[in-house]
Amino acid sequence: MRNFLTISYIALAIILVCAAIAYVFGEHSSIEWLKDLSLNLGTEVTGIFLTVFLIDAAIRRNEAAERQRVKRVAFQQLRVSLIRHLHMLHGMYKAATTSLPESKPVAVADLFTDSYFAQLGFLDFAKPAPVASAVPQQWMDYLRTETENFKAALGRTLEKYAVFLDGETVELLEELLASSYLSLLSQITAIRDIDKKERWSRRYNLLAGQGMTEIARSHTAEFVKLIESHNLNVPSDRHIKLDDGYWRNDIAPPVGSGRIDGV
């Protein structure tokens, strides 16, 4: 269709040239046939051109609508993983802090304040994690599982929908997949295993280290962009936000339950 539209443009240009020649030399009967031909062809090609143009415009609208539909489906399928990751990021803060903010944020972007990142430095990855399991888990085990599951969900979305998504969304998914923060959280159990093997002892508030805040900020900034893109592409009743359940102390993790001892 696009090639045919191009050909129509070229044909119309040829007809216009013929018409111009016929107009200039129209008084000579020897090229009267050229004038008649140009008029007839001009009418035919103009009609074809308008038809092709309208069809092409309709195809473009349908393609845009289909891309938007597929993008909405992609985000709807990613929704559960986004919520789980938000619970993880919020739970890290809730378990590390000694008190919740008086004005509790609703928008996801408002969670990641200076106070949020400061409190992460007090999270003890060796403390019990907020999991309903017969076998207790430390925070580092829980975070490894959650980050690996989140990355797997991002990978599936890219593999299935990348050709339908806009470049900005694809780039955002790829950046989150390559997140240094996710890599760090998934490798803390390896640090613990090395410590056991070498009989080293340390405090596992590893996010208190130099440069950790910047890594956490970078990841959460990209995550907020993905949440906002999700909310723009799904119905308003499906928006992801911080409801009351995130802040209630009877819902795991309790406030301060993962805070490192002695601070």
In order along the chain (263 residues), what is the average pLDDT of each group of 10 residues?
A: 54 58 52 56 61 61 68 91 98 96 94 96 96 85 96 96 89 96 95 92 92 97 97 94 93 95 82
How many angstroms separate the first and last alpha carbons of the chain? 69
Instruction: Give the whole-number percent of the chain exceeding pLDDT 90.
Output: 66
At 68, list the tokens. Answer: 């938007």
Assess contact for 154 and 162: CB atoms under 8 A: no
Per DSSP, what are the bridge partners of residue 123?
A: 259
Q: What is the pLDDT of residue 8?
A: 54
Maximum CA extent, the chain: 106
- What one-letter code names the amino acid at 203? R
Assess contact for 125 and 139: CB atoms under 8 A: yes
Q: Which residue has the tokens 């997140």?
A: 179
Q: What is the pLDDT of residue 29?
A: 46
DSSP summary character for residue 11:
H
Assess contact for 194 and 206: CB atoms under 8 A: no
- Separation CA 80–CA 154 (nearest Å): 12
In terms of phi and psi (left: phi > 0; alpha: psi -120 to 50; beta: otherwise), the region of 261 is beta
pTM of the full structure: 0.78
